[in-house]
Amino acid sequence: MTQDFTPTEMMTIAAARALTNDDVCFVGIGAPSAACNVARLTHAPDITLIYESGTIGTKPDVLPLSIGDGELCDTALFTVSVPEMFRYWLQGGRITTGFLGGAQIDRFANLNTTVVGPYDKPKVRLPGGGGAPEIASNCGQIFITMALTNRGFVDHLDFITSMGHGEGGDHRARLGMKTKGPTRVITDLCIFEPDPVTRELTVVSLHKGVTREQIKENCGWPVRFATETVETPVPTETELSVLRDINARTKRAHEAA
């Protein structure tokens, strides 16, 4: 019988399931890193994980604190310079999937990690884009992991740091972008995918016990639901065990540091 699980665990495991053995994945720190390593330790042992600092094929035993964490270089097949990482690997079209998060997202999966409020006098100044704008543009597809809240899922972005589907429709293609952009947004309550035509985010799967009303209450725009929404399969014993083990190892390692 499956154990009880938290919404964050459901989000992480649902994100992990989206990956395959054949993926070459550009990994973000935090929830994306947890998801990618759960995939590596369960159903996708041959996945290639790449971090922005230039580590290729890394297999961390604990989750990194940052892209500069020594755990990444120590467990990588090899490490390249950051210019080579971006020019040869990313811009060269060699990365199938990018995993991103953000402070804010809109209905077309554009991300803001720059400012909330006017750019010159913002209410909140965020960490910035780093490599995320290039990842969003050049990876074959993008998966986004974020908790579903009114604060994060907003009707209007004050600043677009990383382009999703822009204004919707064929906006990416009109700008000459040849990659798919965001194909899935995994939250702690549900999974969104872009509508095939409008590219507006649409709920395709609800996590166990979550209602449509909960999703509507936590989203800053009028939510659309797919004609046939399904229930997200609950985490298996193995998936939960692997996720909890790596989180426990990570906690012990960081507390001892």
CA separation for the pair 220, 238 (Å, rounded): 35
Of 172, 16, 19, 174, the C-alpha closest to 95 is 19
CA separation for the pair 130, 82 (Å, rounded): 12
Q: How many CA atoms lie within 13 A of 40 on its CB side?
A: 21
Q: What is the pLDDT of residue 222?
A: 97
pLDDT digits (tens, 9 = 90+) for 146-167: 999 999 999 999 999 999 999 9
Q: What is the pLDDT of residue 255?
A: 85
8 Å CB contact between 100 and 136: yes
Domain spanning 7-101+140-146+165-256: CATH 3.40.50.300: no
From residue 16, alpha-carbon distances to 102, 103, 112 in Å are 18, 21, 23
Average pLDDT estimate for 234-248: 96
CA separation for the pair 119, 169 (Å, rounded): 27
Of 26, 113, 31, the C-alpha closest to 72 is 26
pLDDT digits (tens, 9 = 90+) for 104-143: 999 999 999 999 999 999 999 998 888 899 999 999 999 9
Indicate which residue of 52, 71, 134, 200 is catalytic: 52
Q: What is the pLDDT of residue 68?
A: 86
Q: What is the pLDDT of residue 42?
A: 97
pTM score, whole prediction: 0.93
Q: What is the pLDDT of residue 2?
A: 54
Tell me the percentage of the chain whose pLDDT exceeds 90.
88
Q: What is the pLDDT of residue 1?
A: 44
Average pLDDT estimate for 230-241: 96
How many residues appear in the chain? Answer: 257
Sign of the torsion formed by the C-alpha atoms of 21, 3, 232 and 215: negative
- Clarify whether 84 is annotated catalytic: no
Average pLDDT, the chain: 94
pLDDT digits (tens, 9 = 90+) for 35-83: 999 999 999 999 999 998 899 999 999 999 888 888 999 999 999 999 9
Q: What is the pLDDT of residue 76?
A: 95
